[in-house]
Structure 1
Amino acid sequence: MNSRPNATPLSQLPGKGPARRTSCRLLLWAAACIVIALVTGGAYAFLHPDRVPERIGLLVENLTGANPHPVHLRRPRDVPLSALALLGKQVFYDTSLSASGRQSCASCHSPDHAYGPANAQPVQFGGPRLTDPGFRPPPSLAYLYRQAAFSIGPDAAENEVPPDLAALASQAQGVARAQKSAAVAPATPAMVPQGGMFWDGRADTLQAQAISPLLNPVEMANASPAEVAHKLLNAPYLDQFKALFGDHIVDNPDLLVDEAMSAVGRYQIEDPSFHAFSSKYDAWLEGHARLTQAELRGMRLFNDPNKANCAGCHVSQPTKDNLPPLFTDTQYEALGVPRNREIPANKDPKFYDLGICGPFRRDLAQQTQYCGMFLTPTLRNAATRHVFFHNGVYHTLKEVMDFYNLRNTSPQKIYPRDASGKVAQFNDIPAQYRKNVDFQDAPFDRKPGDPPAMSDQDIEDIIAFMNTLNDGYVR
């Protein structure tokens, strides 16, 4: 007669006593957690049936670090470079185009450093002998392929007369600025400057951006476009110009320079290294990576409108048509970072870098409501940079986060004191323009003495998340 064998008691399972008892406790604890989750989930489903998918997704994310709602990102096509882009690549790395003969585009925009500066200097040195200091740290050239031209207000329709920026800016005076919150879609840019290249948006295209350093006396320091053309005529790739544009290109110096810079712009648009979208965050968005608990907490704080509120300006969600997020709204802000005494130009107490209204762009110099505003950069690969903000005043993400956290609540920890012992808040903006500084968006909506928006642990977690934005993630 067959008989069912008795189940072995847990106490008689193989293994040593204490270890065995610990395993039993873990099994019981796990079972209890599952029961609690089921009961809680069931109760929540009964009370809030419309939000069950959201809660289940959050539970999956919490337990596994996976994205419960993966998407397919639409990246730029990875195809062989065109002949024009290949020509632009040679121009990009050509040091002979500088007055010193030792500086190229890549000297300040290193491909090994996300096309930003390779060092921690607040400004780079150029000129005929590479001894002349610049005024701002070079921004990254990465992720500019979707950057629109500089504008104020809605984009003009095709075939419209180009807008008068000064007139638009005058119309915008006195209009309330839209509040930026990570909780809603990016704020309408109706009365906010947006787009453009450089920290002040003075170039509208990659082509225009490429020519500017060639003629800047403290960068590649050519005296004129004709001088650049003369160097191009002696470049080893001149035959490629002739093949693309005809032999007569050599007879028109201005056209030769224009086509050379067009080629540089084409190289930046076509080469995947300028917009790789290969970060851990991209992989997470597509369901191919799991975030750690610290990275998950950091992501939530990054997107929390009452905490860091980073996503209010550094948009973190894909577009409606699944283009990857650029982590910038391409708008301009006056943040009031401290003056950087290491910039040689700042040794003159009368010198101020006011961004949109000067000193390097002059068309909006009279629109003082924009003085102190600078372009919001992408945060992609920001964790690899060694200098931050338009004046390079900070060298670590921790310093950057402390600025956001303490600028209003404890300004004495951010700014120096003047000769009278008073905290010199916003000491890099003249007093008459400090009304332009952002006090509206969190975390800048707090007052002196208020608790800061973020704890030290919050900041550590946000930085952990920002490291997931570095390209080159390997699964």
Structure 2
Amino acid sequence: MMASVGKAMFFDPALSGSGTLSCASCHVTSLHYGPAGKDPVFKGGAKGDREGRRAIPSLTYLERQPPFSIGPDDAVADDIAPTIAVPVTGGAHAAKSAVNTASSAANLVPQGGLFLDGRADTLHQQASGPMFDPDEMAATPEKVTARLQTVAYAKPLRDLAGIRGKVSSDFLLSEGLFALARYQIEEQNFHPYSSKFDAWLQGRARFSPAEREGYLLFNDPKKGNCAACHVDTVGSDGLPPLFTDHQYEALAAPRNFALQHTHDPAYYDLGVCNQKPEGRKELAPYCGMFATPTLRNTATRHSFFHNGVFHSLEDVLDFYVLRDIEPERFYPKGPDGKVQAYNDIPAAYQGNIDTTDAPFDRKPGQAPALTQAERKAIIAFLQTLTDGWTKDAGD
């Protein structure tokens, strides 16, 4: 019952400040609840002319996300204890690989939570974020509550809320946000596990030679090393992998000058440490870190990283492999002619950037961890993670 109300809310543009945007406007059902188009961010607000701060994430596969914490590195845990531990100095950490997570187990790392900075712990909390953001749906609690008090689809919600819902608009609103959360949990399309990879796990599909090569490179700690963060093995609970370790990394994506707010030289989006007003002091070792997303359905996306700076998997793989070998490919040059590497993270926090784990452990003049052909093979494997695969589609 609550999920059916949540579904109606998800598709209802009248809940927004402009009356034209619904949750589904950004999270398109046919695109695995990700955005349509190639724009790096979505334009919203009460008049539809305000630029969002970050690229729109998919809403799929969030049902197993643990609450935010900072603690020991556990690459496969879905039940991380909600603790906060911050190292006294520095963000340096032991190397992490796809086949040996024990070497990095002592690292203190951010993990869990929703949004790219982990600021919400539950889908209930997450639902209010875009709805009341002035740059996104730009609704107000009063408008949403008024809608829920009168619209036909919300009658079951009002019945369940009872007398308390009639006398407390806050309670009715909370119940509405809970309904949105229930819809995301109960609707199978948010977590179908229906990719070719899932069929392969079940013995119902075979990888092509290119997909198999990409899978091996994805897991090779000296090559792609992708599985160090995008865990692709079945856990002790027997559930299919989510292709994320729920953790955060500072990868130093280039500043996206296509976004309006980046024209202000004082503006920086620093991920985890933007969670709270004093975060740049209290969480300084994690400034510049953003959540590692699931790679499920990643081949259907058109904007990558928190600022949408890249628009293809080819661009992303090139950045991973060549960031520190050919930095001039990704970063601009300053007035002095020098490449402004890591230009979207202030110098004070650049020590947090991952330069330890392959393929980021290269220096100028060294060979890249992956050749162009090998990068192409990994992309072939990533394409097996798209939901909706059928045997009739071929191998």
- Specify if TM > 0.5: yes
Q: TM (normalized to structure 2)?
A: 0.93
How much does 1:229 deviate?
Answer: 1.2
What residue is the counterpart of 1:249 in the other structure?
165
1:465 to 1:189, Cα distance in 2 relative to 1, 3 A: farther
> For residues 234 and 331 of structure 1, do their structure 2 counterparts lie closer, same or farther at Cα, with a shift above 3 Å needed?
same
Alpha carbons of structure 1 residues 283 and 442: separation in structure 2 relative to 1, 3 Å = same
1:95 corresponds to which of 4, 13, 17:
13
Over 3 Å counting, the alpha-carbon distance change for 1:253 and 1:99 in structure 2 is: same
Letter in structure 2 aligned against 1:262: F
Quote the Cα distance in structure 1 between the aligned partners of 2:95 and 2:169.
48
The 1:188–1:275 alpha-carbon spacing in structure 2 relative to 1, beyond 3 Å, is farther
Contact in 2 for aligned 1:109/1:116 (Cα 8 Å): yes
Match in the other structure for 2:78: none
Matches within 5 A, 1:223-242: 223=140, 225-242=141-158
- Which residue number in structure 1 is paired with residue 77 of structure 2? none
1:342-381 Cα offsets, whole Å, 9 max, x none, are 11110111111111112x5435331211110000000000
Amino acid at match of 1:203: A
Aligned equivalents of 1:264 and 1:154: distance in 2? 32
Asked if the contact 2:5–2:153 (Cα under 8 Å) also holds between the matched residues in 1, the reply is yes
Q: Which residue of 1 aligns with 2:129?
A: 212
Partner residue, 1:421: 337
Amino acid at match of 1:322: G
Aligned-pair identity (%)? 50
Residue identity in the other structure for 1:383: A
What is the deviation of 1:162? 7.2
Moved more, 252-261 or 406-415: 406-415
The answer on 1:106 being equivalent to 2:21 is no
Confirm or deny: 8 A CA contact 2:94 2:356 kept in the other structure.
Answer: no
User: Which of 251, 257, 261 lines up with 2:177 in the alignment?
Assistant: 261
Letter in 2 for 1:95: P
C-alpha contact 2:68 2:82 (8 A) present in aligned 1: no
Residue range with higher mean Cα deviation, 185-194 or 346-355: 185-194
Cα distance change, pair 374–162 in 1 and its aligned pair in 2 (3 A): closer
Which aligned pairs between 1:232-381 and structure 2 lie closer than 5 A? 232-358=148-274, 361-362=276-277, 364-366=279-281, 367-381=283-297
Partner of 2:377: 461
Tell me the residue number matched to 1:151: 69
CA-CA distance at 1:465 after TM superposition? 0.3
1:389 aligns with 2:326: no
Secondary structure, counterpart of 2:279 in structure 1:
coil
Which residue in 1 is equivalent to 2:39? 121
Bigger RCO of structures 1 and 2 (CA < 8 A, at least 6 apart): 2
SS of corresponding position for 2:377:
helix
Normalising by structure 1, we get a TM-score of 0.77
- Partners of 1:433 and 1:176 lie apart in 2 by 11
**Cα shift at 1:234:** 2.7
SS at match of 2:152: coil
Q: Distance in 1 between matches of 2:361 and 2:185?
A: 38
* Residue 84 of structure 1 pairs with residue 2 of structure 2: yes
| Secondary structure of the structure 2 residue equivalent to 1:193 | strand
Per the TM alignment, residue 251 of structure 1 is displaced from its structure 2 partner at its CA by 1.9
Q: Quote how far apart the aligned CAs of 1:242 are.
A: 2.5
Encode CA deviations 1:33-80: one digit per residue, 9 max, x unaligned: xxxxxxxxxxxxxxxxxxxxxxxxxxxxxxxxxxxxxxxxxxxxxxxx
CA contact (8 A) 1:89 1:267 kept: yes
Residue type of the alignment partner of 1:370: Y
Indicate conservation of the 8 Å contact 2:69/2:82, yes or no.
Answer: no
Instruction: Point out the structure with max Rg over C-alpha.
Output: 1
**What letter is aligned with 2:151?**
A
**CA contact under 8 A between 2:38 and 2:311: conserved in structure 1?**
yes
CA separation of 1:431/1:294 partners in 2, compared to 1, >3 Å: closer, same or farther?
same
SS at match of 2:178: helix
Residues 443, 334 of structure 1: alpha-carbon distance in 2 compared, 3 angstrom cutoff? same
Residue 327 of structure 1: how far off its partner (Å): 0.2
Q: CA deviation at 1:237?
A: 1.7
Q: Distance between the aligned counterparts of 1:236 and 1:420, measured in 2?
A: 64
Question: Where in structure 2 are the equivalents of 1:408-447 lying within 5 Å?
Answer: 408-447=324-363
1:188 CA displacement: 3.2
Q: Is the contact between residue 96 and residue 103 of structure 1 (CA under 8 Å) also seen in structure 2?
A: yes
Task: Tell whether the 8 Å contact from 2:90 to 2:351 is kept in structure 1 after alignment.
Answer: no
Q: CA deviation at 1:227?
A: 3.2
Structure 1 equivalent of residue 59 of structure 2: 141
The reply on whether 1:195 has 2:195 as its aligned counterpart is no
Match of 1:398 in 2: 314
Secondary structure class of the residue paired with 1:351: coil
Matched residue type, 2:320: Y
Partner SS for 1:246: helix
- Shift in alpha-carbon separation, 1:162–1:453, aligned structure 2, 3 A: closer
Aligned equivalents of 2:276 and 2:125: distance in 1? Answer: 14
Separation in structure 2 between the aligned mates of residue 432 and residue 178 of structure 1, nearest angstrom: 21
1:116 and 1:140 in contact (8 A); partners too = yes
The CA deviation string for residues 82-128 of structure 1, in whole angstroms up to 9 with x for no partner, is: x1111111111111110100111111111111111112111111111
Instruction: Give the conservation status (yes or no) of the 8 Å contact 2:303–2:312.
Output: yes
For 2:333 and 2:192, how far apart are their aligned partners in 1? Answer: 44
Distance 1:373 1:362 in 2: 16
